[in-house]
Amino acid sequence: MSKLVQIIVGSTRNGRVGDQVAEYVLKTMSASSPNFKFEIVDLRDHPLPMFDEPAIPAYKTYTKDHSFKWSEKVSQADAFVFVTPEYNGFIPGVLKNAIDFLYQEWKNKPTVIVSYANRGGSSAAASLRAITTRIGMKVAETMPALISNNDVRDPATNRIADPETAFAPQKESIEQATKELVELVNTPAITATA
């Protein structure tokens, strides 16, 4: 059975291009790793309030319907790709909140961090690396940073006219990150022995 990688679109705001970035990442990663299955998970499709569970996520004792649904969705994946813009040097609050809702579902899972911004979003990527490492995820070394100040956009919608051309300079970085993700998925977890 093929491994499932969820590509999480980390922005929900109007005028975003995160879904276009995620589509390009999916296409590039799928071509680089045909034995894996990739799907896009858009946080717009999983609206969550600010964390509202009575217990900490590590206990996995959810009481809210939205928490159960989010847990069920994330639990399906063997690995993740977080696609995040950089907002004021950090990841969007909606992405941080979505991560904070869960714990066991993320722990020990491999992940790739893809950022995008006028300068590539390296500050957001660094903060997301700190967050995902803290909750026990295995983070790929390569973190593709897509620079979005040279793309051509529709002034009315802010959509990128040609994502293939706009993101071509980062294609090799995404392919390298895919190789690292595959290695992380295929490396068995080390368990402690008595």
- Specify the CATH number for 3-186; select among 3.40.50.360, 3.40.1190.10, 3.40.50.300, 3.40.50.10540: 3.40.50.360
Domain ranges of the chain: 3-186
Q: pLDDT > 90: what percent of the chain? A: 83
Q: HEC string of 121-133?
A: CHHHHHHHHHHHH
Tokens (6 digits) for 104: 């066991």
pTM of the shown model: 0.94
- pLDDT score of 128 more than 50: yes
Q: Which residue, 141, 145, 133, 148, is CA-closest to 176?
A: 141
Average pLDDT value for residue range 154-158: 86
| pLDDT over 80 at 42, yes or no | yes
Kindly list the distances between the CA atom of residue 6 and the CA atoms of 30, 35, 83, in Å, as whole numbers in the listed order. Answer: 12, 14, 10
Please tell me the predicted confidence (pLDDT) of residue 148. 67
pLDDT value at residue 194: 44
- Please give the pLDDT value at position 191: 52
Determine the average pLDDT of the residues in 179-189. 91
Give me the phi and psi of 50, to 5 degrees please: -60, 145
Q: Give, in order, the Cα–Cα distances in Å from 184 to each of 51, 77, 188.
A: 30, 14, 8
Radius of gyration (C-alpha) of the chain in whole angstroms: 16
Examine the pLDDT at 55 and tell me if it is beyond 80.
Answer: yes
| Distance between CA atoms of residues 7 and 33, nearest Å | 14
Q: Which of 14-18, 68-72, 83-87 has the lowest mean pLDDT?
A: 14-18
Q: What are phi and psi of 80, to 5 degrees?
A: -140, 155
CA distances from 45 to 12, 78, 167 (A): 9, 20, 25
Between 26-30, 69-73, 78-82, 163-167, the lowest mean confidence (pLDDT) is in 163-167
> Is residue 38 scored above 80 in pLDDT?
yes
Q: What is d(CA 142, CA 145) in angstroms, rounded to the nearest whole number?
A: 9
Cα distance between residue 2 and residue 15, in whole Å: 34
